Amino acid sequence: MPNSASIWPAISKSTSEALERQEPFVNLTLAQHALALLARLFRYGTVCYHGGFISLSTGVSGRLPIDASLWRRLRRRCKSELSRA
């Protein structure tokens, strides 16, 4: 059976080792969560979280809520840096 290094020869050894240690279906699970987030964004025009995490040891998944005040501060900082440039 081919492994990741034979399928993608340009992949680095550390990436190849990480893929070999990874639990099965992790990428599929993460992709499904990302797709659900995008579907909510496209359907409703907004989301209340901007990411999530999955604990493989406990099987628990959680959302990372959006911190509106943090995003306002980042937006102000970006605008001030652009105006100085």
**41-85 per-position pLDDT tens digit:** 999 998 888 888 888 788 888 888 888 888 888 888 888 888 887
d(CA 54, CA 63): 9
d(CA 41, CA 66): 13
pLDDT at position 2, please? 55
Long-range contacts of 39-44 (CB under 8 A, 24+ apart): none
**Domain total in the chain:** 1
Using alpha carbons, select from 5, 58, 54, 63 the residue that is nearest to residue 25: 54
Domain of residue 58, residue span: 4-84
